[in-house]
Amino acid sequence: IRLNQVGFYPNAAKVAVVVGEGNATKFFLKTADGAKTLYTGQLTDAKLTELSKKPTRVADFSGFSASGSYVLEVPGVGQSYPFEIKPQVHQDVAAAAIKGFYFQRTAIELPQKYAGKWHRPAGHPDTNVLVHPSAASAQRPVGTMISAPRGWYDAGDYNKYIVNSGITMGTLLSAYEEFPQFYQNQKLNIPESDNQVPDLLDESLWNLRWMLTMQDPSDGGVYHKLTNPVFDGMIMPDKATTPRYVVQKGTGAALNFAAVMAQASRVYKNFSKDFPGLSDSCLSAATRAWEWAQKNPNVAYDQDAINKSFDPDVTTGAYGDKDFSDEFLWAAAELYTTTQQDSYYKAVNMLPDAKMPLPSWAQVRLLGYYTLLRHRDQKGAAQKDLPEIRKRLLQFTDAMVAGATAGAYRTVMGRVKEDYVWGSSSVAANQGVALVQAYHLTGNKKYLQAALSNLDYLLGRNAVGYSFVTGFGEKSTMRPHHRPSIADDVAEPIPGLLSGGTNGNADKQDKCEGYTATSPDEMYLDADCSYASNEIAINWNAPLVYLAGALEALQQQ
């Protein structure tokens, strides 16, 4: 019985999916101890799942709304995992997803007071980072050391990548811009919780300050990443002490950086008493990176080519995007919105084609559109395009709503094999983010319901029956490819982290042993060797933060 193992809002849809053959026609909602039946419902007729062709029947108990702890029982099948019905049922998930970033902090000890049983010494101070030969310049020749502390570990590995920080920061800062009141009131028990700044922004600042150090002051270019030459073993951060490098400046890094800094300048301006000068520094960093990208519009990060010319070889994550049209668009949208200067908007073709590509680290067009739509009252050059962008976004999200209604699992996510990429959980979460935008534009609750269906997916209503958020749900990810979670001596993984999830090619990519499934919707292994289906990453956690936070903020409506 597959369902959101955390639970349901009293007034929202409540759906479980029963997998497999069976004769039962009824299901029973019972108290958590199984003693008392409170609601009886009719299972739907069996329907085959789109990809694995398994029979499924749906138990819809949306009509039941009393708060409490429950299980669902289907005769001949058994009982579901326990779950709750109550207001604010995803409040803890929404908070833990941000706290997950705290646990990814480099360069600082995580004491018990904030980290509980996952406390650990500081790792990777990054105060003595070498300039890799691929990044050397007259001002910073080979052998130069720079200081680039703070930031978050990207994922299960210990490196820091500007491109992936781009979409991550953009998503987190957008969550704040959309729901400032909600975040103002949220407390996460992080070292900065006592100041007047929302914890989401305090946490994001940890990475923002690192990003600022990645700009070469002599020309405004931005290093692609800060990394060891090779991935560390599965050891704790403080035990991983090999030399670190900043590697080649590139267009993708410069534009991701420019977009984030422009947005940050706008967002942190409201907190200039707490962070004097920060907003201005961000804007000047953004404009310098933008100018660098104008002069260097096509410097792709090509790790193989770099390794042919320079030593040492670097074999860590590449994030090697080659098409920068969407990065130009996003950076232009942020710079235009922050400075209100039409010249940024006009510098880029903002409607290159009618596509609405779902955001990922390599594709950030919609981040630009979201920002333009969020600031739709702003006068300026974007006004003429906004009706078209709005129309396209709604076409895109209407298709998602239709998909959710039609699918065996009644989620937007997961009816087509293309959804099951490396990091598919972020596909589900980013679909949810798009749907929340559609709700903002229209006030139509069908979009929120569809967004919630994807949070249900992430928390258990999916073809493998796992909650992909560590620490949430009785059957949730326990052995993520995440070095601290594996190397520490705590049985439970660090909480609030989103596993990349089901990946139709995982068996070929990580070659971890133990895959038995062959259908793309079932290719998931809760094992730490399965980095292609069970790693965690900041760019996956960020849309989870957004989706869970947005649904919490909007649940009363």
**What is the number of other CB atoms lying within 10 angstroms of the CB of residue 395?**
12
- Which residue among the candidates 73, 154, 203, 535 is catalytic per the annotation? 535
Judge whether 535 counts as a catalytic residue.
yes
- Of these, 155, 197, 260, 335, which contacts ligand 9MR (CB under 6 A)? 155
- Of these, 50, 126, 154, 321, which contacts ligand 9MR (CB under 6 A)? 154
Cβ at position 517, least distance to ligand 9MR in Å: 19
Binding mask 229-268 for ligand 9MR (x = CB under 6 A): ----------------------------------------
- Binding window for ligand 9MR (CB under 6 A); candidates: 52-60, 149-157, 195-203, 518-526: 149-157
Coil, strand or helix: which one is 534?
A: helix
Rounded Cα distance, 351 and 356, in Å: 10
- Binding window for ligand 9MR (CB under 6 A); candidates: 62-70, 112-120, 154-162, 385-393: 154-162
| Short-list 101, 100, 15, 6, CA closest to 552 | 6
Cβ at position 319, least distance to ligand 9MR in Å: 6
| Short-list 451, 494, 549, CA closest to 94 | 549
Q: Does 537 bind ligand 9MR (CB under 6 A)?
A: yes
- Binding window for ligand 9MR (CB under 6 A); candidates: 81-89, 150-158, 196-204, 321-329: 150-158
| Short-list 79, 115, 110, 84, CA closest to 8 | 84
Helices (H), 340-444: 342-346, 365-374, 386-406, 424-442
- Of these, 151, 166, 237, 317, which contacts ligand 9MR (CB under 6 A)? 317
CB-nearer residue toward ligand 9MR: 266 or 482: 482
Q: Does 422 bind ligand 9MR (CB under 6 A)?
A: yes
Cβ at position 96, least distance to ligand 9MR in Å: 20
Judge whether 326 counts as a catalytic residue.
no
| Short-list 545, 455, 472, CA closest to 204 | 545
Rounded Cα distance, 123 and 105, in Å: 9
CB-nearer residue toward ligand 9MR: 149 or 317: 317
Q: Does 497 bind ligand 9MR (CB under 6 A)?
A: no
Judge whether 84 counts as a catalytic residue.
no
541, 169 contact by CB (below 8 A): no
SS3 content of the chain, % helix, strand, coil (to 5): 40, 15, 45
Whether the bond between 87 and the residue before it is cis, its omega within 30 degrees of 0, is no
How many C-alpha atoms does 81 have within 13 Å on its Cβ side? 19
CB-nearer residue toward ligand 9MR: 19 or 427: 427
- Binding window for ligand 9MR (CB under 6 A); candidates: 64-72, 369-377, 465-473, 529-537: 529-537
Q: Which conformational region is residue 338 in: left (phi greater than 0), alpha (psi within -120 to 50 degrees), or beta?
A: alpha
DSSP 180-244: HHHHHT-----TTTTSSS-HHHHHHHHHHHHHHHTB-TTT--BEEEEE-SS---S--GGG-----
Closest CB to ligand 9MR: residue number: 317
- Which residue among the candidates 124, 375, 481, 482 is catalytic per the annotation? 481
Cβ at position 468, least distance to ligand 9MR in Å: 14
Cβ at position 170, least distance to ligand 9MR in Å: 16
Cβ at position 233, least distance to ligand 9MR in Å: 15
**What is the number of other CB atoms lying within 10 angstroms of the CB of residue 204?**
26
Rounded Cα distance, 64 and 425, in Å: 29
- Of these, 50, 202, 232, 535, which contacts ligand 9MR (CB under 6 A)? 535
**What is the number of other CB atoms lying within 10 angstroms of the CB of residue 537?**
28
Judge whether 375 counts as a catalytic residue.
no
115, 188 contact by CB (below 8 A): no
Q: Does 157 bind ligand 9MR (CB under 6 A)?
A: yes
Binding mask 338-367 for ligand 9MR (x = CB under 6 A): -----------------------x------
Residues contacting 430, CB < 8 A, separation 6+: 358, 359, 360, 543
Q: Does 548 bind ligand 9MR (CB under 6 A)?
A: no
- Which residue among the candidates 178, 327, 526, 528 is catalytic per the annotation? 526
Q: Does 321 bind ligand 9MR (CB under 6 A)?
A: no
Cβ at position 525, least distance to ligand 9MR in Å: 14
93, 459 contact by CB (below 8 A): yes
- Which residue among the candidates 157, 202, 326, 507 is catalytic per the annotation? 157
Query: Catalytic site residues?
Result: 157, 481, 526, 535
Q: Residue numbers of the site for ligand 9MR (CB under 6 A)?
A: 154-155, 157, 317, 319, 361, 422-423, 531, 535, 537
